Amino acid sequence: MTARLRTDESLYLYRKLVLIRQAEEKIREEYGNDGMKTPVHLSIGQEAIPVGVLSGVPEATQCFGTYRNHALYLMLTDDTDGFFAELYGKATGAGKGKAGSMHLSAPESGLVATSAVVGTTIPLAVGAAFAAKYKKSDDVAVAFFGDGAVEEGSFWESMNFACLHRLRILFVCEDNNLAIHTPSAARQGFRSISEIVGGFECYCMSGDGSDVQEVIMMTRQMVEQMSEQPKPGFLHLTYLRFLEHVGIAEDFDVGYRLRPASTEMARLDPVLRFEKNLLRNECSLDDLRAIRTEVDEKIARSIQAAKQAPFPAPSELYTDVFV
């Protein structure tokens, strides 16, 4: 897809990609010190999907995601303080130290809910879209989920209801071809999810989830179609999960998948790919270095603050939780 982004838009996207990548690289550096007790499902390789989609939807969009949600949180809030404090389990965290990595949310910024239970936030997003229709608002809801979630009944029921009621909802399937260690071909009794979804009353597009420009253009096109004639949209985006399912390590030598060739790895790295594109077209190395430095300093300050922050008091144990 050709570049039709303004330079200020491109630099905004680049900064977000770098913010997410560098925050997760910092987690990888810090995790061994055992201050972060939460399991982490890192999004390295996936960043272009949340960054592209959330740059292409209207501002008041309500967003729902999974345990692999760091990119959603950082994209929507830019709040590295609340992010790192939450990973360290501190009272100043986004979930006051009780959500951990898998349940990050920021409803005031549009991230309504994320969950560790596969498929469970898809119907919540449908509910948000249904509420918008009921209130005669043009607001859009977005549900992000993995390829594993399309094997859940909640996905099909959600699709059916949303299509029947012509809701303004964007279903975003983040397809890394894996559920933990199992490839799609060993799990799914159908050949192509987009072929099946193509039979529903919705807009349907497939694309390269490693290319932030392609993702944003596809999202914009879909939102435009949805506003002309309300119907759900289904975006099927492929990407490479660079690391293990949960944790900080690479796992290409474990035996269940092969390491792609280095040229392929570079092509599938959304940050590197966009950076090369920017350097070819419109930006200097100094422009990009300045962004990286600002982001690295912001992350370092947030980690320092998170380490020094207090844990929640024992009296807080039952506040904000359902018991």
Ligand X SMILES: Cc1ncc(C[n+]2csc(CCOP(=O)(O)OP(=O)(O)O)c2C)c(N)n1
One of 117, 164, 279, 285 touching ligand X (CB under 6 A) = 117
180 binds, among Mg ion, ligand X, none (CB under 5 to 8 A by kind): ligand X
Residue 134: is it exposed, middle or buried by C-beta count within 10 angstroms (0-12/13-18/19+)? Answer: exposed
Return the structure tokens found at 75: 């994209």
Contact string 104-143 vs Mg ion (x = CB under 5 A): ----------------------------------------
The rounded Cα 70 to chain-centroid distance in angstroms is: 7
Q: Which does 116 bind (CB under 5 to 8 A by kind): ligand X, Mg ion, none?
A: ligand X
Q: Considering the rule CB under 5 A, would residue 69 count as an interface residue with Mg ion?
A: no
By the rule CB under 6 A, 275 interacts with ligand X: no
Kindly report the backbone phi and psi dihedral angles of residue 114, in degrees, each rounded to the nearest multiple of 5, phi listed first: -135, 160
Residues 49-78 that bind ligand X (CB under 6 A): 68
Tokens of 185: 């071909």
Q: Residue 134 and residue 123: Cα distance in Å, rounded?
A: 16
Q: Is 147 in the site for ligand X (CB under 6 A)?
A: yes
Q: How far is the CB of 202 from ligand X (least distance, A)?
A: 20
Specify burial of residue 221 (Cβ count, 10 A radius: 0-12, 13-18, 19+). middle
Residue with tokens 């040229």: 263
Question: CA 155, CA 157: separation in Å to the nearest integer?
Answer: 6
Nearer to ligand X, 110 or 146 (CB): 146
127-146 residues in contact with ligand X (CB under 6 A) are 146
Contact status: 176 vs Mg ion (CB under 5 A): yes
Q: What are phi and psi of 84, to 5 degrees?
A: -70, -40
Closest C-alpha among 163, 174, 236 to residue 202: 163
Rounded (to 5) percent helix, strand, coil in the chain: 50, 15, 40
Q: Which is nearer to Mg ion, 81 or 174 (CB)?
A: 174
Cα 106-111-115 angle, rounded to 5 deg: 95
Q: Sketch the per residue contact string, 224 through 263, with ligand X: x for CB under 6 A, - otherwise.
A: ---------------------x------------------
117 touches, from ligand X, Mg ion, none (C-beta below 5 to 8 Å by class): ligand X
Eight-class DSSP state of 83? H
Closest to ligand X by CB, 61 or 114: 114
- 116 counts as binding ligand X under rule CB under 6 A: yes
Considering the rule CB under 5 A, would residue 151 count as an interface residue with Mg ion? no
Closer by beta carbon to Mg ion, 197 or else 295? 197
Nearer Cβ to ligand X (146/207): 146
Binding site for ligand X (CB under 6 A): 68, 116-119, 146-149, 176, 178-180, 245
